[in-house]
Amino acid sequence: MADILVLGAGMAGLGAALQLQRRGRDVALVDRRPPGRETSYGNAGIIQAEAMEPYAMPRGMAALLRIARGRDNSVHFHAGALPGHFGPLMRYWWHSGPSRHARATQAYSGLIARATQEHESLIEEAGAAALVRREGFRELYRDESAFTAAAGLAEGLAARFGLKVSVLDAETLRAAEPALRNGGVGAVHWRDPWTVSDPGGLVTAYAELFAARGGQFSEGDAATLAPRPGGGWRVETIDGPLEAEAAVVALGPWSPALLGPMGYKVPMLRKRGYHMHYRAPIRLNLPLLDAANGYVMAPMAKGLRITTGAELAGAEASSSPVQLRRAERLAGELLTLGAPVENAAWMGTRPCMPDMLPVVGPAPRHRNLWFHFGHGHQGFTLGPTTGRLLAEMVAGETPFTDPGPFSPSRLD
């Protein structure tokens, strides 16, 4: 019998499993699919060391009207699905108020500040350095006033948190990225983040490290998690039942469905996103965010990947890559995309909490049950860092940061 079950084999689950192993725990990892095949696979591949402030919901009327009228490609919604999202959206709007957002930033920045450090040791141990570049990414601007404002905000954030940032004019950007026919009016180059040419490949490398350390992976149904009569937890897998003294729920957007029958109401906002790869004849050197249009172009092993912003849809709604089609057209104004690599777009779901903070810590009403989910757009970045915070609490160590803001008790 393992010491602890970790349900979910994305970056959050593996981050927790690897950190628990470092503290001498015998860990069994359970997922319905092999590691790194869900949201951890489909992102822009950026370990975002610059993202000190969680992304707040726009509160100005002009911005909200632009979203409502479908003129902001960073957000797309299905009108019929909005009632199901209403509660979490209203909470998100409330938490995005200036004073509450400032408190969230204080907690959140302490996690982001450790992100590359926690990944670094795992990348080295997993032999995955070839997948990673440490030169940052760029944000392109098409409007002079927006560029001036963004440059000022970037330089202010850099001074506040000790970040490295460069402001590039259009000519300098095009010299750095020969693939661009159009450099807009300029770009902000965040130099601290790391970028990954195959996000799913990095998760797979971490999974192989987990196995090399003696960890067990089993395909199973997390919905079968149940307390054992004598204490501990049990889950069904294709190889039979697995039992352990403790369990960690790291199921990302599927966490609320598991925890609802246990009495936990998790007000998660589930945001869908899409990506496709293209055979660009001249590839970008670094990922490029088209700031006005809510998509990222990232050079990947499979081609140039376009990733989209947030889509609010029903839980069972079919794929509707409206944002991706718009992004293709807009990206085509900047460079030659080439033919798509895949026949259809990939779609995944981001687990976003209304207060913009992940949920990390002990379950309020169940002994030896731990929560580790709700990382929003930053699960790929933060999985090993919040995994460390969780493992320190499980092991009875002094946490590296105050765990209070991330506590599951705030869900009650």
Cα 144 to its chain centre, rounded Å, is 30
Q: Is the model's pLDDT at 383 over the cut of 80?
A: yes
**Hey, what amino acid is at 307?**
T
Q: Is the model's pLDDT at 61 over the cut of 90?
A: no
Q: Report residue 20: phi and psi, to 5°.
A: -65, -40
Sorted by where each begins, the domain ranges of the chain are: 1-56+97-131+197-267+353-412
**Topology of the domain covering 1-56+97-131+197-267+353-412:** FAD/NAD(P)-binding domain (3.50.50)
What DSSP letter does each residue of 276-294 carry, written as one string?
EEE--SS--SS-EEETTTT
> What mean pLDDT is predicted for residues 282-301?
97
Cα separations in angstroms, 140 against 190, 305, 336: 11, 16, 16
Average pLDDT, the chain: 95
* Interatomic CA distance for residues 57 and 90, integer angstroms: 10
Confidence of residue 148 (pLDDT cuts 50, 70, 90): very high
Q: Is the model's pLDDT at 180 over the cut of 90?
A: yes
Please report which residue ranges of 49-143 form alpha helices under DSSP H.
61-68, 82-95, 98-112, 115-126
Exposed/middle/buried for 71, CB within 10 Å: 0-12, 13-18, 19+? exposed
Give the pLDDT of residue 338: 97
Q: Is the model's pLDDT at 269 over the cut of 90?
A: yes
Q: Is the model's pLDDT at 36 over the cut of 80?
A: no
Give the pLDDT of residue 285: 97
